[in-house]
Structure 1
């Protein structure tokens, strides 16, 4: 019997979420918290929202949130997570295979947290659409892993990956002069291994403001 993972994005992510009762902690991504706590709440788009930790936190800060994911399992968990916290009226969820379809509208905040995949994903195309969805005066926040964890040896890498660079993503976005860079930073954080070994991982952060 073959144990190969599916290459179809929908099947891959459904299988991953269904493998356990919860894939993520339910807490918001720390760099989202760091980069958006000073923003005035408005309409937010959470791309790749997973089980809803970021959407829930944004709603608790007064944002009206549209959460998007490819996995119906993840979206169901996210909706339950948000409703349990009492924010169901502030958050809506939509299923999209980003790169194929994209939510309509413009937003004061578009957040793409770790929008990285071992299966087909037009990352550059999705990030360009994300920038287009930012309203004048709004913010685009992108956070992505810059490499594998420090404790992972090369022979342990689960798949081939090309990690985006700070300047590489800016070049791919090709933003006009009406955008201002607020944060362009590589952040190293503690990242222990599953068996408890100490380690670190570096994440790249792009925070950009559309000024006009």
Structure 2
């Protein structure tokens, strides 16, 4: 993940990094290897439980089951992060209002000079016909073509 190495080089070390939608922890592991303090949040309970077991003795890492688009925010004790990463989460989090709330939650978690690395998946209906089907199937729920619900 060379783009993340570059992004990390812009943060003060040891950086406090929030991994939004951390999943099984690929980015979190990279940050820990680089000496960061990591907090990961994800709605996937099994993934968070696995990461919590894996890093139970690591004082530099903690993981929480959270809905990243919750109106009550991430509900973390310390919400001043030097950086936050949000990889592909905004593409599957829900509808436009959920994405707005996700970004508000990230903004609230960052320190005043905190930096965000965010990535999105693009429309894939011309590359993968199954995505075209999902876009149509999920349209009544998401309200916009090109957005799908996380499965």
TM range (shorter): 0.7 to 0.9
Q: What is the DSSP-based 3-state SS (H/G/I as helix, E as strand, rest coil) of the residue aligned with 2:38?
A: strand
Q: Specify every segment of 5 or more residues in structure 2 that has no aligned partner in the other structure, as ranges.
A: 136-144
In the TM superposition, what are the counterparts of 1:101-180 in structure 2 within 5 Å? Answer: 101=72, 102-104=74-76, 105-115=79-89, 116-117=91-92, 122-148=98-124, 151-153=127-129, 157-160=132-135, 161-162=145-146
Q: What is the DSSP-based 3-state SS (H/G/I as helix, E as strand, rest coil) of the residue aligned with 2:92?
A: coil
Aligned CA RMSD, in angstroms, stands at 2.6
Bigger fraction of residues in helix: 2
Q: Could you tell me which residue of structure 2 aligns to residue 73 of structure 1?
A: 46
Q: What is the DSSP-based 3-state SS (H/G/I as helix, E as strand, rest coil) of the residue aligned with 1:138?
A: strand
Task: Give distance in 2, aligned partners of 1:150 and 1:35.
Answer: 31
Task: Give distance in 2, aligned partners of 1:144 and 1:81.
Answer: 28
CA displacement 1:193-212 (0-9 Å, x = unmatched):
xxxxxxxxxxxxxxxxxxxx
In the TM superposition, what are the counterparts of 1:83-102 in structure 2 within 5 Å? Answer: 88-100=58-70, 101=72, 102=74
Q: How many residue pairs get matched?
A: 131
CA displacement 1:46-67 (0-9 Å, x = unmatched):
1100001111110111111110
TM-score w.r.t. the length of structure 1 is 0.53
Q: Offset at 1:141? A: 1.3
Q: Could you tell me which residue of structure 2 aligns to residue 59 of structure 1?
A: 32
Closer, same or farther: CA 98–90 of 1 in aligned 2, 3 Å: same
Larger Rg: 1
Q: Could you tell me which residue of structure 1 aligns to residue 5 of structure 2?
A: 33
Closer, same or farther: CA 119–158 of 1 in aligned 2, 3 Å: farther
Q: Offset at 1:37? A: 3.7
Task: Give distance in 1, aligned partners of 2:131 and 2:120.
Answer: 20
Structure 1 runs (4+) greater than 3 angstroms displaced? 80-83, 118-121
Asked if the contact 2:124/2:131 (under 8 Å) is kept, the reply is no
Bigger fraction of residues in strand: 1
Asked if the contact 2:18/2:38 (under 8 Å) is kept, the reply is yes
Q: Could you tell me which residue of structure 1 aligns to residue 142 of structure 2?
A: none
